[in-house]
Structure 1
């Protein structure tokens, strides 16, 4: 359990006469979770009002109550895994969040101006912070744990898998849409002899990428993907499509189409959701990834229509569980270095982010897809890569 919990008063007396309390207990019971129980995944209530906040604002209320120290779970990841496997949370649709739902459906929350918010709020948090949490290459996306036993091995395996799926060869010119700190570009340049252009909307990421990889034939640009209009032998986008937004999916695919050589391959690595008709998680949207929007397979299919042939679709979403747990372990080990700067509430927020997401992937509530796309279809068929 978080060390913060030691400063919180003992659990409030259960309000078992409350209809909302009983409704929460029943819902949790379907997942084998008890209120103030003895299992490490049981919820421990420290203050009254948690059930009311959860039903009134769904995960926004539950997450803010956790940040406020109103409840805990020793294994927060397993709490969420069990809760989400019940699928009962899909039925919680608070009226308070109607505006959030309508905005996601009808507004372009990822236009050129708003798209930079996630860079400023999340990715510009601090390079030292992310360096402490991630692997040595600073790869902030799902690792590939097929034969890996460590985070470092899993991330290298993922990067190499992408290079093999793209059939990279020396001298090829590659575009990385959402290049982060440049981990893929540097790996591909060193191991496969390519040149690359990478774009990101994070000033911190671009600055460090240039500093780290200035010796390689790589061009890092602070640029929105919609401004791209060059030809490349191959395109990759790893963990950026989650920020594009449903009203821009087609535009994004049109940009990729115009930038890809006629015989080139495009690999798109993205988290995805199981349902087309759903809205972004309100807590994640407010505190972690503003304006984020996970796509469904149907939405992606609509965006590909008449632009790309799907050569391969690979789902290894369960591997994100292991990746997030490894990040959480690194985060906790490094926390003393950042405690004075970021504070106890940030720690609870970040733990909630990492562990709730790990639980969601464990429950298979969300997925991780790698799509391999071509413009006209690979003649003779595409030979897929896995191991």
Structure 2
């Protein structure tokens, strides 16, 4: 029996300056660490080479996706313990998330890297897992590059998404109350959006990033709206059109494979953008706001539902999450809430209401992870072992990030003021917070 686990534990504890709260099980069968703790399984020395060739989060992500690295035990507990040791330690500047082996001039880092190098085996760079987004070139957020990024994330297979999301096919945070099922909570979220938008019979609604058509169907069926939904995903559009036909709503809903920047048939009475703005990017967000403003009639309402990160002490030093960028949402960007509100108002909108749903997203993600774990073998057959591992890690880690207030999600209700500054909202606009019925 070997002793790789003990050697790795000693290296890590010397580097971190504290005891590891997780066990390590190494490729040679050895184990080390506190009994009963979650176990970090290093199945192959290749995991060390991945970390050395790509220090920080990307190397760890590649090892996880390839199956070189795994966790046995409670995944949430393991991620929480590792996050406190690695991503949340900070670097003395107020920033967190710097990664385990970021290339800094630190003797402890060099000593740790040398120790790993002695155990890592042949010094050749392992190829990245096949699920990693291929190399991207050219400016961020051109129409072609955005379409490729969206396809990477959403064209994984509608059956896979149905397995994870459940019958609602809503891929954004639900709106929970005690005793809700996932489907109930997603219905309540869609209804909350419709009420905030003040939808009524015959209103024209533009649903930007319409996904699998759930918002469009709810708005048309329950409120009598006439809906145009746009998405860049061919698979989403095909699925949405089939659902709409089955609901008998083809006369009220049109689904287009179209970039929001190419929509020219306004004005609309209302616009919903639910979980789409994260794909827009900081370089295009003012353009996004201007385009939506131009598509709304005076007095029209925008509901922008968007994940937000916390502001960095030095915004110029902010880095995109390497794992998310390579495997989940290529070119996706999170902005602080204040910046989003300011940009919308710079475009001419009046921000009328902001509601945080941070805890709601944590609950939603935990339900999605449970769905994936319950149907794990099917998920692997539908996609690949690497893709299923990506989704399990991404959703579980995101749930913890929402719970720990590292990121948030907000619904911003904004109005394009009518002549004379009229908003068209009632004096007591928060009547929409009443519980949904039905």
Q: TM-score range by the shorter chain?
A: 0.7 to 0.9
Of 20, 23, 26, the residue aligned with 2:15 is 23
Distance in 1 (CA, whole Å) between partners of 2:286 and 2:395 is 30
Of 17, 34, 40 in structure 2, the residue corresponding to residue 37 of structure 1 is 34
Three-state SS of the structure 2 residue aligned to 1:180 is coil
Aligned runs of 1:114-133 on 2, under 5 Å? 114-133=145-164
Contact map agreement 1:80 1:360 (CA 8 A) in 2: no
Of residues 327-336 and 45-54 in structure 1, the stretch that sits farther from structure 2 once superposed is 45-54
Q: Which whole-Å deviations, capped at 9, do the CAs of 1:179-204 have from their partners, x for residues lacking one?
A: 00110110111111111101000000
> Could you tell me how far apart the structure 1 residues matched to 2:59 and 2:427 are?
49
Structure 1, residues 88-136: CA drift from partner, whole Å, max 9, x if none? 251516359xxxxxxxxxx842211110123221111111111121131
What CA deviation, in whole Å up to 9, does each residue of 1:287-307 have, x standing for no partner?
A: 111111111123213422331
Q: Could you tell me how far apart the structure 1 residues matched to 2:386 and 2:255 are?
A: 34
Q: Quick one: which of 173, 176, 181 aligns to 2:212?
A: 181
Structure 2 unaligned regions, length at least 5: 25-32, 91-95, 105-137
**Residue in structure 2 matched with residue 152 of structure 1 by the alignment:** 183
1:369 equivalent among 407, 410, 418: 410
Contact 1:175 1:234 survives alignment (8 Å): yes
What is the match of residue 388 of structure 2?
347
| 1:92 matched to 2:89 | no
Residues 1:219 and 2:254 are matched in the alignment: yes
Q: Distance in 2 between matches of 1:266 and 1:23?
A: 50
| Residue-pair matches, total | 365
Cα distance in structure 2, aligned partners of 1:24 and 1:51: 20
Matched, 1:330 2:371: yes
> Structure 1 residue aligned with 2:319, among 279, 288, 292?
279
- Larger mean Cα displacement after TM superposition, 159-168 or 172-181: 159-168
The alignment status of 1:112 with 2:143, answered yes or no, reads: yes
Contact 1:273–1:295 (Cα < 8 Å) also in 2: yes
Which 10-residue stretch deviates more, 245-254 or 163-172?
163-172
Offset at residue 262 of structure 1 (A)? 0.8
Query: In 2, distance between residues paired with 1:249 and 1:129?
Result: 30
Quote the Cα distance in structure 1 between the aligned partners of 2:52 and 2:358: 27
Match of 1:12 in 2: 5
Aligned equivalent of 2:306, options 252, 257, 270: 270
Structure 1: where are the runs of 5+ without partners?
1-8, 97-106
CA distance in 2, matches of 1:351, 1:308: 38
- Offset, 1:368: 0.9
- Whole-Å Cα distance in 2 between the matches of residues 272 and 338 of structure 1? 29
Structure ranking higher on relative contact order (CA contacts 8 Å, 6+ apart): 1
Judge which range, 246-255 or 341-350, deviates more.
341-350
Partners of 2:267 and 2:144 lie apart in 1 by 26
Structure 1 residue 79 corresponds to structure 2 residue 119: no
Question: Over aligned residues, Cα RMSD in angstroms?
Answer: 2.8
Contact 2:23–2:37 (CA under 8 A) maintained in structure 1 = no
Q: For residues 337 and 208 of structure 2, what CA distance do their matches in structure 1 show?
A: 20
Residue 358 (structure 1) aligns with: 399
- 1:60 matches 2:58: yes
Runs of 4+, deviation exceeding 6 Å: none
Residue 25 of structure 1 and its aligned partner are, at CA, apart by: 6.5
Alpha-carbon distance change, 332 to 177 in structure 1, aligned in 2, over 3 angstroms: same
Cα separation, partners in 2 of 1:242 and 1:41, compared to 1, 3 Å: farther
CA distance 1:11–1:333, change in 2 (3 Å): farther
